[in-house]
Structure 1
Amino acid sequence: MKLKTRICKKNSLKTLDATEESQEASGNYPLSCVDWSSNEEIYFVSDDHQIYKWSDVSRDSVEVAKLPDDFIPTDLHWLLLGGRSSGGGKGSDTLLICSNDGRFIILNKSARVERSIAAHTAPISAGRWSPDGAGLLTAAEDGVIKIWSRSGMLRSTVVQSDEPIRCARWSPNSTAIAFSQGGHISIKPLAANSKLIRWRAHDGLVLSLSWSAQSNIIASGGEDFRFKIWDAQGASLYSSAAEEYAITSVAFNPEKDLLLVGTFNMLKLCHSTGWCYNSERFTAPSVGSFHTLAWSADGTQVACGTATGQLIMGYAVEQQLYSRNLKASSTSRKSIALQDIANGSRDVLEFPQRVINFALGYGHLVVATTHQLHIYNEKYINTPIIIDGRNDVRVIEVGKKHFMVLDATSIWVYSYTGRLHLNPRYPGSQAQLPLLNWRSLSLGLDVLAIRDNSETTLLHLFDLIPGASRQYEPQSLRAKQPLAEIAACRAGSADDQFVAFIDSNRELYISETRNLNGGSANNGHNEIYKIGTQLTAIKWASETNILVGVHDSCYSIWYCPGEGASDPTIIALTTVTLDTAEFGKHVDIDSFEDAVITFRCAGALLPVNINIYCEVLHRTLQEGQGQWQQALKICRLAQHTSLWATLAAVATRKHQLQISEEAYSAALQIDKVSYLQHLKTLTPSSPEQMAENSLMLGRMLEAETILLHNQKFQQAVGLALRMHNWKRALEIAQKHETAEPGLDLLQRVLEQRRKYLKALARDEWEPLYLSYAVKDESPSE
């Protein structure tokens, strides 16, 4: 990937006086106020008091309005109505401009001043609308940060200090503000009684800040010639080598993991983890330092203002995607080259509109332009299917049967024939659209998982099977901690669908999206299991239910993460952890197709093979019930513990007790072999055997439900007692005491409780049992 730039033509429509002519001759006024009002229009203003609009259509600029002569602008920001994309695509109508005398003004689309407010006693260094559009902040050299309503009414003063504030930025969720003073960076949460986080960031002044909406990380540039990346708690994630000059501007891309860095006569396009894609130098003509960088709302273009007054526009080209034998590369703003590496063919696809996004996988290329979707099949590359009306597409994810699109108006799931399959809605979904990104969405084989951004511990699951009720009424899965990244499995059968997620503590959990009895994710049968810690990224295999995850200094492969999740022993046997020291730092997962994992580190692609026998075993088990003998042959041939454990877990889930017993025996799990032999003594398909099988799978609530539903109350009480769930055992005994004459369930529970207390040599402490203990003692008294 590389950045391609061009210097935009600026027409001055006013007559220059003598002083201005001399400035024009030596280079224009420094351009430090630039922003996009839509994906096609740039507004900019400098010390000449003129507001100009540059259009990508006409490639020319026109004067929009003139500011008062005593108003010297220091910052400019458009309010994007409805969020980053919808406002940016359709155009916005509220402009904020700050000045060096402590004032800020709010203008409407027709350039009429709505409000002019004296906010500070010193120059305003930063004025920014909040991402949710509810208000704005102003930060000034008087050391004060204030928050205002959209109409310009003062809401609060959040920071008061004696040290000048150089720059300030909102957090992506509008709940905190990051700002710089001298060489320090501070984060001020807006919640009541929250503490200020402050750390030493640079040896010199911090000149610029940017807070990523994609990764929730902060970039800073300073006078020490370095740019650095921090997490939201101030921990250092990356520090660049020293450049030749000070870093005057940094800006994260709103939709992609990109960071643009500006210094004297140079722009650097970097990944959000810090490593550099390419550098663009400007020597003829010299443009000076880059004072401001502003990405367009769709994340495809950037506008730059320089010290010499030049307006420079850039866009990324040569973005490359790989999928098996196919390679797609963007060659220009309106063309993509699709190459088949197997037969050497190469096709250049031209589009009438600018390409915003594209995705490659499962033999299909999906390209989003400004108003259309183009679907290409690798076998019929000359006859694409075109869908109109999709504007500002931010995320495209391809799956085996469908592909998912997130645009300015909604989430859409299409088949590869262009038919709309699902338009998911849930409470508050429209208001949350601007905050959704690729980490909060995941398309699986038969399920679409969406994280709720207003309640980040909640996951909405939409069924993609035709006619399923969950297409319209999603089921919910609730985690204990906020979710950072989710991933639905992309293969398997309709009964073997799982969703994995990383929470805010970087712990990995997994759960079923449905169960074998037709239950849903919120009926209590689907439990959430922890299978890993300290994860930074995860990805499912394209054709099998194998999961890979990256830690800080290693990566793990879970060969049976779904079926074995309930048993820590099985997870330990089927998980392989390998060192990534030879890869370097900041390792990410680029793709996981078939048996090859491709890692990306500092721009390099590093393919790694997984155990091919496990890949073949999973594919064999997916082919149907008749493949058990073939699966046994694979395990006997490879003689690897992880294969036997995988086969055992899957066979137990499918009630193949004979296969499961042999597999557990080969994996040296003697306790499970003994338990399976006990299962075989029970009547086949009886409630007792089904409950015991559910218990072996870790589904205790399901086992109890089976027994109670079949009126096996004595067995249900016995199950609760075996699990030492004394409270539940007493509840069942009390409720069903008279259900079966001759069975004194309550007496059995109390007798077992007395034996338990006697073994512990303790008196009763459980409130539910205290009353029965008193009754037993009263006759003797």
Structure 2
Amino acid sequence: ELVSCVGWTTADELYSCSDDHQIMKWNPVTSETTRVVKLPDDVYPIDLHWFPRGIGGKKQSQAESFVLTSSDGKFHLISKLGRVEKSVEAHCGAVLAGRWNYEGTALVTVGEDGQVKIWSKSGMLRSTLAQQGTPVYSVAWAPDSDKVLYTSGKQLIIKPLQPNAKVLQWKAHDGLILKTDWNSVNDLILSAGEDCRYKVWDSFGRALYNSQPHEYPITSVAWALDGELFAVGSFNTLRLCDKTGWSYALEKPNTGSIFTISWSIDGTQLAGACGNGHVIFAHVVEQHWEWKNFEITLIKRRTMKVHNVINDAVDLLEFRDRVIKASLNYGYLVVSTSLQCYVFSTKNWNTPLIFDLKEGTVSLILQAERHFLLVDGGGLYLYSYEGRLISSPKYPGMRTDILNAQTVSLSNDTLAVKDKADEKVILIFEALSGKPLGDGKPLTHKTEIVEIALDQKGLTNERKIAFIDKNRDLFITSVKRFGKEQKIVKIGTMVQSLAWNDTSNILCGIQDSRFTVWYYPNTVYVDKDLLPKTLYEKDASEFSKNPQIVSFVGNQITIRRADGSLVHLHISPYPAILHDYVSTSRWEDGVRLCRFVKDQTLWACLAAMAVANKDMTTAEIAYAAIGEIDKVQYINSIKELPSKESRMAHMLLFSGNTQEAETLLLQSGLVYQAIQVNINLYNWERALDLAVKHRTHVDTVLAYRQRFLEDFGKKETNQRFLQYAEGLEVDWNKIKAKIEMEIAKERERAAASPAVRT
């Protein structure tokens, strides 16, 4: 008889229900099958969903009960042992689907009567969410459990639980929609229909992928838990696809139609309920990892093949349990199996470091140069490559099951997490202690953030984070959130994907139809006008639409196109060499390199780096090379200033930090310089305030103000200036003498203090 539904309790135990009224239990490892219970003859099961594990911080090792919907209009709450705890009359006609929300606090059922109903955990009716004239075939919860997605003929409808909230509805297929699924990690929606197509949508109803028509209607689709893969079932067809829609593998098993697909919790295998009475099991193999000259492939569930492409050496790595996740970067391969974690150095494949895991199911591995992060259902764990637990950051309302590589980022000293409770906030932790960085205030942006990435090199207090918000704008800011707070600066628009380089702070991204490399993103804090000159841009139309950057190692960038093919790009190696020189203050080598390469972009990078590191001589050479004469002149005038403090202040002015420049001068007691800075910037009010407050140079301010008004042929209208100008003679000779005296005094002071002239 036809098998209608399947569901996993643990990674190695599956329950299935079929039209012969039996519930069976399967163990794919030992191939054992046992009958759990025989249902009454009038109950034909349609859908099964296990109650979610781990509610309210209590982690159960396995699910304890499930909901079974049936053709007699009831749903049944059944325990793991097969005892029917409760049967509830729910719909007129068959109950076509039932789903628990992620917290296990509510159940949604849909039926042939076109109703969508919400029930409490114990099976009491809470509300009827929707009513329509056609049967609802499939239903799914939103990641936050605050909305429900259901089918209505050829339409998909997203309805929030709050009354009067806006309902989203769109035509998704040309035929009846049979199945839909919504993933909690990547927030994407799958739909499958009788028009023989499957489609991927974002949560706003925009189509991201549309498959070619198949031979038969598509009867099932299901996301793997981590949102990286999904499976599609049809008549004698099982297909494995990437989250962007392209297909990894196609199998043609002799199964009849596959009505339901259920992924195991660790995402390594799936089961399908087949129309000819079989249950089909499938394992995901042949995953592929690349780094520099190593290619690693998972050839069996417990075996990896390592191929060194330089000398063609092949190593086989055997594991005790099946491999769940792996990551290869920075010279290390980190592999998590169902019970242990293995760390291999790429220099030696024979002696891995092995340690046991607490929770088991690792959902994400992130690597930095000095350590790596494991994410599982219980928390975030930072380990050194020697296998020592460094820290385990925690924050209120932590939901680790929905974190992925876009929402967590790791560098040698910092960990950044995009919080789910408030999408506009990025939490930043110190890697070594696991405590919030600085004063503990998170980084807050004005709109929702989609993707974050920390740079990998340089000093801790210069650590930068780049992020893309909901409008696809790219921003950069420093992670230090106390003292001198740096602004959040926008450096790109319509950015689809981004990645930092692994060895120097170079950022690459795909914006609109151009592939862009920001050779020195810090330029925005030094000399904003220079940023366009430090970019490398290339037409990205060859990558087709929606390409994703996979990695940026050395000077090679790997991009995955929408059809799944990989494209390798090489960028100039010189900016990375320049970064290296500057980090060790080898300015002459930097200038020599730029003269050798003769590239404007490189000179612009050097100019920005020199100003950032307060090396005026190099800055002057670099600005001259890119023809910014005004800046060369200003740098020359800075060099002639009498004291170190005023030179520092003018450097700050150069980068546009007027407030800091003024503060620095006032702290050093150089009141005249502070007033003069404001006069030069035409901040008349502020200049007068300072002069009055410090009882000095009021006449200087008034004299410059008068000259300014005369130049423009205007009359004085400002009350304060009129008030101070009464009975005050402006004597330019006197003022000039006073200014010269100030500068001489400053020179003497500078000579007396052992400040080194820069």
Q: TM-score range by the shorter chain?
A: 0.7 to 0.9
Whole-Å Cα distance in 2 between the matches of residues 410 and 474 of structure 1? 19
Q: Quote how far apart the aligned CAs of 1:456 are.
A: 1.4
**Residue 643 of structure 1: SS of its match in structure 2?**
helix
Partner of 1:53 in structure 2?
Answer: 25
Match of 2:350 in 1: 382
Inter-CA distance 738–267: structure 2 relative to 1 (3 Å threshold): same
Report whether the alignment pairs 1:193 with 2:152: no
Corresponding residue number in structure 1 for 2:61: 90
Q: SS where residue 529 of structure 2 aligns?
A: helix
Q: Is the CA contact 1:505–1:534 (under 8 Å) kept in the aligned structure 2?
A: yes
Q: CA deviation at 1:701?
A: 5.3
User: 2:629 is aligned with what amino acid?
Assistant: I
Contact 1:85 1:434 in 2 (8 A): no
The answer to whether residue 49 in structure 2 is matched with residue 62 in structure 1 is no
- Partner of 2:604: helix, strand, or coil? helix
- 1:150 corresponds to which of 100, 121, 130: 121
d(CA) in 1 for partners of 2:239, 2:346:
35
Paired residue for 2:623?
664
Q: 2:424 aligns with which of 441, 453, 457?
A: 457
Q: Secondary structure at the match of 1:618?
A: helix
Cross-structure match for 2:573 = 612
- Indicate which of 491, 506, 509 corresponds to 1:531: 491
Give the CA deviation at 1:76: 0.9
What's 2:634 paired with? 675
1:99 to 1:695, Cα distance in 2 relative to 1, 3 A: farther
1:221-300 aligned within 5 A: 221-282=192-253, 286-300=254-268
Partner of 1:5: none
Residues 71-106 of structure 1: CA deviation (Å, up to 9, x unaligned) = 32221111222379996x821223122222332222
Alignment of 1:600-639 (within 5 A): 600-601=560-561, 602-622=563-583, 624-625=584-585, 627-639=586-598
**SS of residue in 2 equivalent to 1:439:** coil
In structure 2, the residue matched to 1:500 is 466
1:650–1:193 CA distance, 2 compared to 1 (3 A): farther
Q: Secondary structure at the match of 2:265?
A: coil
Question: In the TM superposition, what whole-angstrom CA distance separates every residue of 1:170-190 from its partner, at most 9, and x where no partner exists?
Answer: 122223222111111122233
2:492–2:511 contact (8 Å) kept in structure 1:
no
Contact 1:477–1:522 (8 Å) recurs in 2: no
Map of 1:77 onto structure 2: 49
1:421 corresponds to:
390
Structure 1 pair 580–112 and aligned structure 2 pair: CA distance change class (3 A): same
* Higher RCO structure (Cα 8 Å, ≥6 apart): 1
Change (3 A) 1:331 1:86: farther
Q: Where do 1:503-582 residues align within 5 Å?
A: 503-513=469-479, 520-523=480-483, 525-564=485-524, 567-582=527-542
Change (3 A) 1:676 1:67: farther
Other-structure match for 1:410: 379
Amino acid at match of 1:501: F
Q: Which secondary structure does the structure 2 equivalent of 1:585 belong to? A: coil
| In the alignment, structure 1 residue 393 sits paired with structure 2 residue 362 | yes
* Superposed CA offset, 1:138-191 (max 9, x none): 122222222223233333332222232121111222232221111111222334
Q: Residue by residue, what CA displacement relative to the aligned partner does 1:556-579 show, whole Å, maximum 9, x if unpaired?
A: 111111343564422211122222
1:351 counterpart (305, 316, 319): 319
Shift in alpha-carbon separation, 1:343–1:750, aligned structure 2, 3 A: same
Q: Could you tell me which amino acid in structure 1 is paired with residue 139 of structure 2?
A: A
The letter for the 1-side match of 2:522 is G
Task: Tell me: CA distance 1:68–1:376, structure 2 relative to 1, closer, same or farther (3 Å).
Answer: same
Q: For residues 694-722 of structure 1, what are the alpha-carbon distances to aligned partners after superposition, in whole Å with 9 as ceiling and x for unaligned?
A: 34334455445545655667766776787
Contact 1:525 1:699 in 2 (8 A): no
| Residue 619 to residue 76, structure 1, CA distance change in 2 (3 Å) | same
2:728 counterpart residue number: none
Q: Is the 8 A contact 2:15 2:26 kept in 1?
A: yes
Question: Is the 2:474–2:491 Cα contact (8 Å) retained in structure 1?
Answer: yes
Q: Are 2:306 and 1:338 aligned? A: yes
The one-letter code matched in structure 2 to 1:309 is G
Deviates more, 1:584-593 or 1:152-161: 152-161
Deviations 1:183-237 (A, max 9, x none): 1112223345322222221111111112233332222111111111222222222
- Structure 2 CA distance for aligned equivalents of residues 563 and 172 of structure 1: 38
Q: Helix, strand or coil for the counterpart of 1:394?
A: strand
CA contact (8 A) 2:496 2:547 kept: no
SS of aligned partner of 1:342: coil
Q: Which amino acid aligns with 2:593?
A: I
C-alpha displacement of 1:366: 0.5
Q: Kindly, what percent of the aligned residue pairs are identical?
A: 36
Secondary structure at the counterpart of residue 81 of structure 1: coil
CA distance in 2, matches of 1:355, 1:173: 30
User: Where does the alignment leave 5 or more consecutive residues of structure 1 unmatched?
Assistant: 1-27, 514-519, 777-781
Asked if the contact 1:364/1:377 (under 8 Å) is kept, the reply is: yes
Question: 1:225 and 1:675, CA in 2 relative to 1: closer, same or farther beyond 3 A?
Answer: same
In the alignment, the residues of structure 2 paired with residue 360 and residue 241 of structure 1 have an alpha-carbon distance, to the nearest angstrom, of 34
Partner of 1:142, secondary structure, is coil
Going from structure 1 to structure 2, the CA distance change for 1:450 and 1:720 (only over 3 Å counts) comes to: farther
* Rg larger for: 2
Q: 1:171 to 1:718 in 2, by over 3 A?
A: farther
1:586 partnered with 2:554: no
Distance 1:749 1:136 in 2: 78
Equivalent pair of 1:422/1:471 in contact (CA under 8 Å): no
Give the secondary structure class of the aligned counterpart of 1:536. strand
Residue identity in the other structure for 1:547: L
CA–CA separation in structure 2 for the residues paired with 1:261 and 1:701: 60
Q: Note the aligned Cα RMSD (angstroms).
A: 3.3
Letter in 2 for 1:426: Y
Match of residue 269 from structure 2 = 301
Q: Shift in Å at residue 66 of structure 1?
A: 3.5
Conserved? CA contact 1:529–1:566, under 8 Å? no
The CA deviation at 1:307 is: 1.1
Report the Cα distance in structure 1 between the residues aligned to 2:125 and 2:228, rounded to whole angstroms: 35
Q: Distance in 2 between matches of 1:566 and 1:309?
A: 69
Quote the residue 1:740 is aligned against.
694
Q: Deviations over 1:276-323 (max 9, x none)?
A: 1110111xxx21111111112222111111111211111211111110
Structure 2: any 5+ residue segments left out of the alignment?
Answer: 725-758
